[in-house]
Structure 1
């Protein structure tokens, strides 16, 4: 005789307000990042326009030609101007002009310090080289048994190696949450650095989200059960 399937009681539906609250939060997670992205981009473009358009000569100003401002024109002018400056400074004459201007700045004590600091930051952030950060890692920081995510930078050279007497020092940048541009630069023996398989982007997301957004977990491959050969009929008896 076949057994009748046992009907399991259905789980009770959550109250209407609880379902509406869940739907609202789900929609908020989708809409809020899009809205904030548009808001930030729009604000940056408007900020650049407000600074660049007044510098355009009156006869070429779109407000005088078309009777209205063209949104984004200031950003376009800034991009074209910056690209032309970059192309000119690659040549011999442009490089000489830049070196002459920097030599004048080097003679001004306070301005020299500000200029050099900003130039170093800009060179690091906008460098096209891929050797800024090499790999994500974890180190025991700020004390033992407390682990922090960091980024391996190019290894130290010269005096640091000589004075410390440690041949295998690793330069690690420990970024802070939620602003990864701030942090601590530490030098750690290579034996105390644990390299991570996650990408630099995933590590940055983990830091900026305070641990809420992490890399996708790698699922272990299914374990295959070895096939068992059927027993012969004589063994069943």
Structure 2
């Protein structure tokens, strides 16, 4: 009896847990946007005349207004920076922040990583591979992030690739490795399929790759 009850509880947990985590993530994002909007309203209270306090407090009580405003702000920013005039202003902004001590180190590092990850022309996290880690005979899935460069590449013999090995079940933390390309086995699964495989600890396996199509038979020679 206890075995059957445990089985039903686990089955119910598998149904509700993904939904609960999804709702939790969405609520966290909504709370983050509302927090940024509330921060902007607080700045407005200090900048605008005192007569505007009542209007600002009324805006605070409008449900989901912060989410709508932040979404429109992101959309407007994207439209602005995709034209020539907006790109010029972005360059001036980057140049200004790159001259501020401490700030320039943090900003430039985060910008380089974000540009690499989200660039449509980049190769970071575009390929899942199989590597032996943390010791020979033990295999795990990693993602190719590029190639070593600079002084690091000068001290490596042969062709190497940069890899990110995510942890399970939280793929946002992991390890950065540089391995010879000959020790890396490419996988045909997509990055999304590899992430699902990692997060599920191997439970949600990707479908096997489709077999290659047979080549058409050569036409018989005419007499």
Greater Rg, structure 1 or structure 2?
1
Aligned to 1:177: 168
Contact 1:151 1:174 survives alignment (8 Å): yes
Contact 1:152 1:172 survives alignment (8 Å): yes
Deviation at 1:25, TM superposition (A): 1.9
Contact 2:165 2:177 survives alignment (8 Å): yes
1:101, 1:196 → 2: CA distance?
Answer: 40
Cα pair distance change 1:218/1:145, threshold 3 Å: same
Deviation at 1:136, TM superposition (A): 1.5
1:149 aligned residue (101, 124, 141): 141
With the length of structure 1 as denominator, give the TM-score of the two structures.
Answer: 0.71
Aligned to 1:44: 29
What SS is found at the alignment partner of 2:108?
Answer: helix
1:203 aligned residue (182, 194, 198): 194
Contact 1:62 1:69 survives alignment (8 Å): no
1:108 aligned residue (87, 97, 100): 100
Runs of at least 5 residues in structure 2 that lack an aligned partner in the other structure = 45-51, 212-223
With the length of structure 2 as denominator, give the TM-score of the two structures.
Answer: 0.74
Cα pair distance change 1:118/1:61, threshold 3 Å: farther
String of CA shifts for 1:176-232, please: whole Å, max 9, x gaps: 223223323323222211222322222212222333333246799xxxxxxxxxxxx
Structure holding more helix per residue: 2
Runs of at least 5 residues in structure 1 that lack an aligned partner in the other structure = 1-14, 221-237
Contact 1:62 1:70 survives alignment (8 Å): no
Two-structure CA RMSD over aligned residues (Å)? 3.0
